[in-house]
Amino acid sequence: MKISIITPVYNEEENLDVFYERIKETFKTLSKTLTQPIEEEIIFIDDGSTDLSFQKIKGLAKIDKNIKGISLSKNHGSHTAISAGLSKATGDATIIIAADLQDPPELIVEFVKKWREGAQIVWGKRAKYEKSLLRACVNKIFYTLVKNLAIKTYPSTGTGSFCLIDRKIYQNLNRHLEHNRVTFGLIAYQGYKQDYVEYDRFKRERGSSGWDISKLIKAGLDTFLSFSYFPVRFMSIIGIITFAISTLGIIYTLWIWLAVGVKVPGWTTIIILMCIFNGLQFLMLGILGEYLWRVSDEVKCRPLYFIQDVTEENLN
């Protein structure tokens, strides 16, 4: 049995040694709990780091033949980096985990246990994690909306970048070529048997997160625009409601003018309605623009990523 570890890396020079040690200890524990030999594969994907992360990966690869390293030409985003790693994976199951140590590698033992019991997807389900109250509330709302409006099988507490997937799952993922991808949405979208391992997410001790507000917003938009008809349906519903209100307004205005004989000054009303309807029009144009932008990205058929360097020639 072979287990692959896929780890996207962006400026994680300070964490890599500790992460590697904890992964190796986890594999030792895993070997003791299984009756059959276990083969390991650790694939690091450097996503355009500006520090010495890839040099560190190269150093680890020299002392451990099970380590493979890929350096991308620029920062393509963690979801694309994960896709690059999955395209090179050879394990019977693959575990996706970040190198920041906020997700405990020791839980991999539980993941493998759930997988051997029949689950083809095992999510790391966050019970709680240390963040600001505002961020926690935003996350809760976002994941609830994703579960209810986009991906029904997505954990309501989110998954971050921690899960185990069967070989069949990641081979299916390798067939997806879309550029504005949400990897964990694509995993849940496949509909295979799922299970969960609940855990507390830890505070980052070294380095800083590469997920700024703009990347979080884009990931949120990609999730809804890729997996939900809600934005388009929302525009249709607003259009119907607006048309109905406008029709009632016209009927009412004609009635008080023709039947009652009252002239409606209505200057303020007209200005307010113009502002509302113009705002709605621009909102709808913006949503359509988001869809068109993504369609434009796909029809260009550009490569998903470019490789700068590798630790083995066969990874090119």
pLDDT-based confidence at 46, cuts 50/70/90? very high
In this prediction, residue 93 carries a pLDDT of 93
Longest dimension (CA), the chain: 92
Q: What does the alpha-carbon distance between residue 260 and residue 251 come to, in Å, rounded to a whole number?
A: 13
The answer to whether the beta carbons of residues 119 and 195 sit under 8 Å apart is yes
Q: At 93, is the secondary structure helix, strand, or coil?
A: strand
Q: What does the alpha-carbon distance between residue 153 and residue 146 come to, in Å, rounded to a whole number?
A: 9
CA 65 remoteness from chain centre: 30
State the amino acid at position 123 in one-letter form: W
pLDDT-based confidence at 42, cuts 50/70/90? very high
pLDDT-based confidence at 23, cuts 50/70/90? very high
In this prediction, residue 204 carries a pLDDT of 62
The answer to whether the beta carbons of residues 161 and 80 sit under 8 Å apart is no
The answer to whether the beta carbons of residues 41 and 89 sit under 8 Å apart is yes
Q: Where are the alpha helices (DSSP H) in the chain?
A: 16-33, 53-63, 78-86, 108-116, 133-145, 167-173, 183-189, 213-227, 230-258, 267-300
User: For the segment 49-91, what is each residue's pLDDT rounded down to a tens digit?
Assistant: 988 999 999 999 999 999 999 999 988 888 889 989 999 999 9
User: Based on the number of CB atoms within 10 Å of its own CB, is 241 exposed (0-12), middle (13-18) or buried (19 or more)?
Assistant: exposed
The answer to whether the beta carbons of residues 114 and 197 sit under 8 Å apart is yes
The answer to whether the beta carbons of residues 305 and 78 sit under 8 Å apart is no
User: For the segment 208-257, what is each residue's pLDDT rounded down to a tens digit?
Assistant: 555 556 666 766 676 666 666 677 777 777 777 777 777 777 677 677 76
The answer to whether the beta carbons of residues 49 and 60 sit under 8 Å apart is no
State the amino acid at position 132 in one-letter form: S
Q: Which residues contact 194 (CB under 8 A, 6 or more apart)?
A: 119, 120, 121, 122, 123, 153, 188
In this prediction, residue 32 carries a pLDDT of 85
In this prediction, residue 240 carries a pLDDT of 75
In this prediction, residue 6 carries a pLDDT of 95
Tokens of 23: 């992964």
User: For the segment 251-304, what is each residue's pLDDT rounded down to a tens digit?
Assistant: 776 777 677 666 656 655 676 677 677 767 777 777 777 777 777 767 767 787
Task: Write the Ramachandran bin of 72: left for phi over 0, alpha for psi from -120 to 50, otherwise beta.
Answer: beta
Would you tell me the crossing angle of helices 53-63 and 16-33 to the nearest 10 degrees?
Answer: 40
Q: Which residues contact 277 (CB under 8 A, 6 or more apart)?
A: 242
What is the reported pTM? 0.73
User: For the segment 87-124, what is each residue's pLDDT rounded down to a tens digit?
Assistant: 999 999 999 998 888 888 999 999 999 999 999 999 88
Instruction: State mean pLDDT over 173-199.
Output: 82
Is the confidence at residue 12, as pLDDT, over 80?
A: yes
Going from the C-alpha of 78 to that of each of 21, 34, 156, 197, 222, the distances in angstroms are: 22, 32, 21, 22, 14
Q: Where are the domains of the chain?
A: 2-227+303-315, 230-300
User: For the segment 127-183, what is each residue's pLDDT rounded down to a tens digit?
Assistant: 765 556 676 676 677 777 777 766 676 666 666 678 999 999 989 888 887 777 778
In this prediction, residue 267 carries a pLDDT of 59
Q: How many CB atoms lie within 10 A of CB 49?
A: 20
With CA atoms as reference, report the closest residue to 238 among 298, 286, 197, 270: 286
In this prediction, residue 70 carries a pLDDT of 93
Q: Which residues contact 21 (CB under 8 A, 6 or more apart)?
A: none
Q: Which DSSP symbol is given to 146?
A: I
Tokens of 65: 């033949």
pLDDT, the chain, mean:
80
In this prediction, residue 24 carries a pLDDT of 93
CATH class of segment(s) 2-227+303-315: alpha beta
